[in-house]
Each structure stands twice: as C-alpha cells, then as structure tokens.
C-alpha cells in the first residue's frame, strides 16, 4: 500500500496561505471539493475538526496528519499541503507546522489506516526527506519525491547514500540518453530534461506520449549521457547506470548514477556542477 495510490497532483498544495488551524483545514479541503471527491464540505470539515478536538494530529518536527472517516467522501484520499512560514497547530513539540498530510476515508478501516500513518511517520522522520519536500518546486515534484521514497529499502539506501555524499542542485537543461540495443546493434536515443544533478548522478524526466512504451528504460541498464554545455556544439558526455525509474501518467522519471570515465570527464562534470550552484 503506497501513499501515491491515494494521491493526485491536483490534491497537492505547495503554498498554503492561512495563518490559523481552522483556516488551514478549510484550505486543505478546497481541492477535495474542486475535484468532486466530497458531496458535503460542511460534513467533511466537521469530521476533521471533531478528530482534532480529541488531540492534535501535529506529530512534531513541522508535520501534521489531520484525518477523519466520513461518508461525505467517495474514496480514501490523501491531500498534501505545505506552509512555507509554518503555523501553530498545537504540535506536541510546540513548533510551527509546515507539512500536512490530510487523510480522509469513507469508512473506518483500522489496518489500512494504520499502515498509511506508519508509512508517513517513517518517511517524515528523515530530515533529508522533509527538507526535500520543503524545497520542491511543484506539485509534480512532490509526487515524484514520495514515489521515490516508496522504493524498496535497498534502492532507497543507495539513493540516500548518493545524496549524502554529493549535494544535489536543481537545474533544468536538455539531456540525451543513448542506450545500446543489442538486437539492433545501434544506439537508441531518448530526450528529456534534468530535474537536479550532483557529482554522483542526475535525475531526469522524459516526457512520454500516450500509448508509447520505452522498453529499454529499466533499472541496472547502462547508458551514455549527453548534456549540452555552453552551446549546442559542445556536450558533456558521461556514462551512467539507471538505479531507479518510475512512470507517472505518461512521463518517465529516472535516477542515474554516474560511472567514472576518466579524469578529464570528471573535471568537466565538476565544473558544470560548480557553475549551477
């Protein structure tokens, strides 16, 4: 059971504006109303407030998980909200809350509900993950971060180790990936753009097309990477391996770990990363 199974980009709010607890709850409910997931704003609002009256759902470290069971919603959904300035939500540590995961369900399901809560607790214990959510630029980026965090522990370990060793920097440039098709004996090229880069690897999004598959994009595949530098005539050429990949709607999101080539290329990569800090 993944959080992303119950989330939608339209239910992700990256800039909450309210200053009070009750108003934040209303703001989090708004996308549920707009998307038609509820037939009664008043009933849903009351259900959330009634649960808060039993004790604050702010668990500390800038995180709150307001939740309720009510027949006014059609299915279980999770709304994500972020307040850059933070608000008083009666947190157990007395600190302002910045990150909200609102869970609403049409019926009481103890086991699934506890599993979702446990997963949120586990994810948000990690300061690196909390910081990534706070720094994400769009609702799509939030969804992608959560999908990455839901990868198997062995893959998360590799990604977290790479993140610790090499700081990531956001950058949006065109990129070409070249994969060897052994049967056709030629290189297949995919074009996308970078989301962030470090000395250890790069996060790439490849825009997809309806009903189009990319069979060569899968974990452990080695590839060549070409990133334009300075002008269209000049490229930074590297080798890498796909360490994770996921598909959201039509787009592919790929994490690539660089494979050391030679000192000259490593120096060029370092200069490129330094130039975008």
- On average, the pLDDT of the chain sits at 82
Boundary of a domain, candidates 97, 126, 150: 150
Mean pLDDT of 39-61: 91
Name the residue among 259, 266, 145 with its Cα closest to residue 195. Answer: 145
What pLDDT is recorded for position 18?
93
* pLDDT tens by residue, 191-202: 888 888 888 889
Boundary of a domain, candidates 80, 115, 150: 150
Q: Which helix H or strand E contains 241, and what residues bound it? A: strand 231-248
What pLDDT is recorded for position 24?
95
Same domain, 50 and 142: yes
| Nearby residues of 9 by Cβ (< 8 Å), 6 or more positions away | 139, 140, 143
**Residue 157 within a domain:** no
**Residue 235 within a domain:** yes
| Nearby residues of 140 by Cβ (< 8 Å), 6 or more positions away | 9, 248
CA-based R_g, the chain, Å:
21
Same domain, 141 and 170: no
**Residue 155 within a domain:** no
Which letter does DSSP use for residue 95 in this model? P
* pLDDT tens by residue, 58-87: 999 999 999 988 888 888 899 999 999 999
Same domain, 12 and 122: yes
* pLDDT tens by residue, 74-129: 888 999 999 999 999 999 899 999 999 999 988 776 667 778 888 888 888 888 78
* pLDDT tens by residue, 154-178: 555 555 555 556 777 888 888 888 8
Q: Has residue 184 got a pLDDT over 50?
A: no
What pLDDT is recorded for position 51?
92
Q: Has residue 230 got a pLDDT over 90?
A: no
What pLDDT is recorded for position 196?
86
Q: Has residue 133 got a pLDDT over 50?
A: yes
Same domain, 143 and 185: no
Domain count, the chain: 2
What pLDDT is recorded for position 163?
53
Same domain, 100 and 134: yes
**Residue 59 within a domain:** yes
**Residue 156 within a domain:** no
Mean pLDDT of 244-248: 77
Name the least confident of 14-18, 110-114, 205-209.
110-114
Three-state DSSP class for residue 244:
strand
Q: For residue 86, what are the domain limits?
A: 3-150
**Residue 142 within a domain:** yes
User: Band of the pLDDT at 153, cuts 50, 70, 90?
Assistant: low
Half-sphere exposure of 85 (CA within 13 A, CB side): 8
0.85 surpassed by pTM: no
């Amino acid at each position: 059971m993944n959080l992303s199974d119950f989330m939608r980009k339209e239910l992700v709010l990256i800039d909450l504006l309210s200053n009070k607890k009750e108003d934040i709850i209303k703001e989090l409910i708004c996308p549920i109303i707009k998307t038609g997931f509820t037939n009664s704003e008043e009933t849903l609002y009351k259900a959330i407030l009634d649960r808060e009256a039993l004790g604050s759902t702010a668990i500390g470290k800038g995180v709150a998980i307001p939740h309720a069971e009510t027949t006014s919603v059609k299915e279980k959904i999770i709304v994500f909200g972020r307040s850059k300035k933070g608000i008083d939500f009666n947190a157990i540590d007395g600190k302002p809350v910045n990150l909200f995961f609102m869970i609403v369900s049409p019926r009481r399901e103890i086991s699934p509900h506890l599993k979702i809560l446990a997963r949120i607790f586990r994810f948000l214990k990690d300061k690196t993950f909390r910081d990534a959510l706070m720094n994400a630029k769009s609702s799509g980026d939030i969804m992608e971060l959560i999908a990455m965090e839901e990868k198997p522990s062995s893959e998360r370990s590799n990604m977290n180790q790479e993140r610790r060793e090499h700081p990531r920097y956001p950058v949006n440039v065109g990129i070409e990936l070249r994969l060897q098709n052994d049967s056709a004996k030629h290189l297949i090229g995919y074009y996308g753009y970078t989301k962030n880069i470090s000395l250890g690897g790069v996060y790439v999004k490849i825009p997809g097309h309806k009903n189009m598959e990319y069979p060569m994009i899968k974990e452990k595949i080695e590839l060549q990477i070409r990133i334009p530098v300075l002008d269209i005539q000049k490229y930074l050429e590297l080798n890498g391996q796909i360490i994770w990949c996921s598909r959201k709607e039509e787009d592919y999101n790929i994490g690539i770990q660089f494979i050391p080539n030679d000192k000259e290329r490593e120096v060029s990569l370092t200069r490129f990363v330094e130039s975008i800090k």
